[in-house]
Amino acid sequence: MPAKVWWIIHKDLLSEYRARRAWPAMVLMGVLVALVFSLQMDLLPDQKQQIAGGLVWLAIFFAGTVAMDRSFAAERDDGCWDALTICPVDPAAIFLAKFVANAIALAALEAILIPLFTILSGAGFANHPWAMLLVAVLGNLGIAAVGTLLSALSAGIRHGTSLLVLLLLPLATPVVLAAAEATRLICEESLDPQFWRWVQLLAGFAVVFVTAGTVLFGYVVED
């Protein structure tokens, strides 16, 4: 299974590198959202610290859906969706490969947007770099896991390309809220037990969504 997983990851990343269909649009959307938010934040420094976490995670979520919506686009556009569902590969391996590819895309987006928000808004994301990295990784895993599963579901529906955001928003909202609250506490330099409760919640979401995706993916592609 590991060889097949890495082969699919390599195929997806190489295809995106050659075609550049999703990542440039994802980054452009994220930067535009960051610019719009920063221009509208005519607030006192303390007020910026309170809302900057929510704004950066909204930008990551909405821009990230662009890449996740393209997770199965090559198979869908080239008429290979049926071939993917019947190929002699464990559905769990397909899910894990697509999940890792989406997590890499979100990590690249976060590496751009978090420093950009820091520069534009003056938010203290760099107050505790390792804590911010932990929140980013856990939030990334939660969003990528549920996004990959729902992307497969929408790919199997005719004209389902516009459904991903509608399907993803209610399920990913707890992850976005937890990540936003943890980020707010980082900006306020409050790494107290409340911060670690949000981190534990993010870790729980990541474990639940990755496990659910691995178990349910086979049923999703069959339907």
Stated as kind and residue range, the H or E segment containing 172 is helix 164-187
Domain residues for the domain of 25 are 2-222
| Residues 57 and 180 sit within 8 Å (Cβ to Cβ) | yes
**Least trusted range by pLDDT, from 50-64, 89-103, 146-160:** 146-160
| Residues 187 and 46 sit within 8 Å (Cβ to Cβ) | no
Quickly list DSSP for 73-124: HHHHHTT-HHHHHHSSS-HHHHHHHHHHHHHHHHHHHHHHHHHHHHHHH---
Mean predicted lDDT score pLDDT of the chain: 83
| pLDDT confidence of residue 66 | 86
- For residue range 104-128, what is the model confidence (pLDDT) as tens digits? 999 999 999 999 888 887 777 888 8
Q: How many domains does the chain have?
A: 1
Quickly list DSSP for 186-201: HHTT--SHHHHHHHHH
Q: Which among 63, 217, 209 is positioned nearest to 155, based on CA atoms?
A: 217
| pLDDT confidence of residue 179 | 94
The pTM for the full model equals: 0.88
Residue range 140-164: mean pLDDT, rounded: 78
